[in-house]
Amino acid sequence: MEIAVVILNYNGEKFLKDFLPSVLLNSKKASVYVVDNCSTDNSVKLLKSNFPDVKVIVNSQNGGFAKGYNDGLKQIEADYYVLLNSDIEVTPNWIKPCIDLMESDKSIAGVQPKILAYHNKKLFEHAGAAGGFLDKDFYPFCQGRLFDIVEEDKGQYNQNKEVFWASGACLFIRSKLYHKIGGLDEDFFAHMEEIDMCWRLKKYNYKLYYCAQSTVYHVGGGTLNYMSPKKTYLNFRNSLYMITKNYDGFLFFKILKRLFLDGLAGGLFLIKLQFSHIWAIVKAHFSFYVQLPSLIKKRKAIKQDQTTFNPVGLYNKSIIAHKFLKGIKTFSDLNPKDFNK
């Protein structure tokens, strides 16, 4: 089988210097690609002069995470793609357990490894941790991370587990399925596009998994800081995009409730005097309204094509209520009976 490790880069010269050697050292049976998203630093020059074994694809424009990968992967033939952030340190034997898991079950479309924090390797990292889930209002959370609270890795998530979504920071995916569903949605630009793609894969009854035998270390926030208002804008906007496209029930009340909850989030930002984040939410809502006709078209197309939906990984309670009203801080405190099997 052919495996392509594909790193999307935008002005990440420092990350390439720091982390690409570990990728090359620990990925002997894979081809390593860097898709450069029209960088303005010396990334491409560095790659060509210092890393001759890396295959370089230069995109004609920076269309964000989604378009960047879509454009690059059109030029790569392999059985498996591994989408890998440039700010990740991989470990020995990080590829084989994930591929073995996917080979064991052809209905597994994608897998992520255990993602720990590079700067504190005892902690799970925000972007994916030990696999992703959605609550009844479609807020994402992870084994090892609820909102901004990350857990210490004490072996509590050392079993492979079917999840709702796998992190785009390090995502193993079957190439045929990636192209079959049209890849990542380019309207998202960045953030939550992998959750949207996983949701669409589940509409064809495919599975997503967390592989506990593989570990990587993620710096996080390398392209966009976690506290950036732009990240707030993308997360709030793209969440509305994702729900509109993929939720099978009566959409109006689900979106209305979500808009109300976004208003409460704006109130929390007001208490903290974070006015730029309030404006980011307002802009996210207006962008959603502008895109609504296009999103409805996508929704209809997805509904027309979908087969049997695989609901594993949906949490039938409100993660917000559990955190803020009941004080639950870790995934392990949630009742397993409240998850779809």
Find the length of the chain.
341
Confidence of residue 63 (pLDDT cuts 50, 70, 90): confident
Confidence of residue 307 (pLDDT cuts 50, 70, 90): confident
Give yes or no for a contact between 341 and 310, defined as CB atoms under 8 angstroms apart: no
Give me the mean pLDDT over the 113-126 stretch: 96
Name the strand (E) or helix (H) holding 276.
helix 275-305
Confidence of residue 305 (pLDDT cuts 50, 70, 90): confident
pLDDT exceeds cutoff 80 at 300? yes
Please tell me the predicted confidence (pLDDT) of residue 224.
Answer: 57
Which of 99-113, 132-146, 226-240 is least confident? 226-240
Please tell me the distance from the alpha carbon of residue 200 to that of residue 166, in angstroms, as a whole number. Answer: 13
Give which of 207, 161, 167 is closest to 331, Cα–Cα.
161
**pLDDT (tens digit per residue) in 158-206:** 999 999 999 999 999 999 999 999 999 999 998 899 999 999 999 999 9
227 to 61, 188, 245: CA distances (angstroms): 26, 19, 27
Please tell me the predicted confidence (pLDDT) of residue 147.
Answer: 85
pLDDT exceeds cutoff 90 at 301? yes
**pLDDT (tens digit per residue) in 219-275:** 986 555 667 899 999 999 999 999 999 999 999 999 999 999 999 999 989 999 999
217 to 96, 129, 160, 281, 299: CA distances (angstroms): 17, 10, 18, 31, 36
Which of 44-48, 135-139, 326-330 is least confident? 326-330
Give which of 205, 30, 169, 189 is closest to 86, Cα–Cα.
169
Q: Is 148 or 170 the better-scoring residue by pLDDT?
A: 170
Please tell me the predicted confidence (pLDDT) of residue 226.
Answer: 63
Please tell me the distance from the alpha carbon of residue 69 to that of residue 15, in angstroms, as a whole number. Answer: 18
Confidence of residue 12 (pLDDT cuts 50, 70, 90): very high
Burial of 193 (0-12, 13-18, 19+ CB in 10 A): buried
Please tell me the predicted confidence (pLDDT) of residue 225.
Answer: 60
Give yes or no for a contact between 306 and 133, defined as CB atoms under 8 angstroms apart: no
Q: Is the whole-model pTM more than 0.75? A: yes
Please tell me the predicted confidence (pLDDT) of residue 327.
Answer: 84
Please tell me the predicted confidence (pLDDT) of residue 1.
Answer: 87
Please tell me the predicted confidence (pLDDT) of residue 2.
Answer: 97
Amino acid at 300: K
Ranges assigned E (strand) in 54-165? 55-58, 80-85, 88-90, 108-117, 132-134, 140-142, 145-146, 149-150, 161-163
Name the strand (E) or helix (H) holding 170.
strand 170-174
Half-sphere exposure of 85 toward its Cβ, with a 13 Å CA cutoff? 25
Please tell me the distance from the alpha carbon of residue 40 to that of residue 10, in angstroms, as a whole number. Answer: 8
What percentage of the chain carries pLDDT values higher than 70?
A: 98
